[in-house]
Structure 1
Amino acid sequence: MKNYLLFLMLLLAACNNNTSVSEPKKIEEDTLGDRTDIPPVVKEQVYNLDSVRQKILKDNLKSNHSDKIVHSFSLEGDYSAEGNDGKAFYIDNQIKKIAITFYGESGKSGYTYIFENDKIMVEEKRHEYDVPLSGNIISTQVASYQIDYNGKILENDNKEIDLDTYFILKKSIPFTLK
């Protein structure tokens, strides 16, 4: 019985020991005001592509068009203030197109990725609203470019582009289903 109690006490002490996890250090504000040397924390959702792949295949088992699959999705995380929605289109188990829209208070951004053999054609559209959350679009900026599957820019129309969204999608949406 003594050995059992000793073991229990050691186990309890080990569980309460915080040596493996530390609290974030509190950073005092310096005399110059807000600190700009501290990078912002961005939550990135980790997806298991095999699980996503299996879910897509399972959801489309009853489809009459098994060679054409459409997968609706929404990325979780702090990607846009008002949410997002997207669709991935597959033909013969290969990704052919991804379309995703990110909604914000002052506008929305739409991305379309067309997948070919060795390149991806990308179109980004950024719409601004006349007043927050109105949905009445007053201006649109369009950027078109081509990248390879690794995200390397092959062609750009000399406009500012967003490759981060591609890398997020690449981690979130399987490009092949089998």
Structure 2
Amino acid sequence: MKMFNYILICFLLLSCQNKEQKRVKNSINNSIQQSESNDIVKDTTIVYDIDNVSAEGVEATVRYVNKKIKESTINIYGETGQATITYLFSSDLINVTEKVFEYKTDLKKVSSDKDMKIKTEVSYNIDLEGRLIGVSGKERIDIFKEFKEVVPFEIN
């Protein structure tokens, strides 16, 4: 009888351990699958300097998703103000929003956004070559040629 109890206890322990191993293995497999699905979308941000636009500097912060350009925010710094241009890329056109700010004070005294005011704001669309689609209605800052020379639309 002792032998039977001993065998029964060993059998129960082994069977419980097997279930635990399966549970751990399933948990590991689920974690791996979750991790692989999270790795599908790769988001990368790169900052580029664009020359020959403004003496004070031009900086483009570009966001890539799955190695393709999706969005760019360009800051153009000037002596009397600055401008922000946002490009939102789709498959065949780019939605552009421009905001031009004036400094309320001397450039050397500007310390925050409170020292600036919006002068103009305009939105329009361009194609992937930079050609205007439709009518913008106001003057626009056209630096797309310079942007395209520096910023790749796809990265490796």
* TM-score calculated relative to the size of structure 2: 0.66
AA in 2 matched with 1:172: V
Partner deviation per Cα, 1:42-87 (whole Å, 9 max, x = no partner): xxxxxxxxxxxxxxxxxxxxxx89711100121234x223222221
The equivalent of 2:148 in structure 1 is 170
- 1:90 offset after TM fit, Å? 0.3
**Matches of 1:150 and 1:76, distance apart in 2:** 19
The equivalent of 2:129 in structure 1 is 150
Unaligned 5+ segments in structure 2 are 1-38
The equivalent of 2:35 in structure 1 is none
**Matches of 2:117 and 2:65, distance apart in 1:** 36
Unaligned 5+ segments in structure 1 are 1-63
Percent identity at matched positions? 29
- Where in structure 2 are the equivalents of 1:43-58 lying within 5 Å? none
**Matches of 1:151 and 1:138, distance apart in 2:** 28
**Matches of 2:118 and 2:47, distance apart in 1:** 27
The equivalent of 1:111 in structure 2 is 85
Contact 2:94 2:127 in 1 (8 A): yes
- Name the SS for the 1:128 alignment partner: strand
Name the CA shift for 1:151/1:76 in 2 (closer, same or farther; >3 Å).
closer
Q: Which has the larger radius of gyration?
A: 2
**Matches of 1:152 and 1:139, distance apart in 2:** 26
The equivalent of 2:71 in structure 1 is 97
Contact 2:68 2:155 in 1 (8 A): yes
What is the number of residues matched between the two proteins? Answer: 113
Considering fraction of residues, name the structure with more helix.
2
- 1:140 offset after TM fit, Å? 2.5
Greater CA drift, 147-156 or 113-122: 147-156
The equivalent of 1:25 in structure 2 is none
Name the CA shift for 1:65/1:107 in 2 (closer, same or farther; >3 Å).
farther
Partner deviation per Cα, 1:83-138 (whole Å, 9 max, x = no partner): 22221110011100111101111100111100001100001111011123143113
- Where in structure 2 are the equivalents of 1:1-178 lying within 5 Å? 67-77=42-52, 79-133=53-107, 134-135=109-110, 136-163=115-142, 165-178=143-156
Taking only aligned residues, the RMSD between alpha carbons, in angstroms, comes to 1.9
- Name the SS for the 1:156 alignment partner: coil
- Name the SS for the 2:134 alignment partner: strand
* TM-score calculated relative to the size of structure 1: 0.58
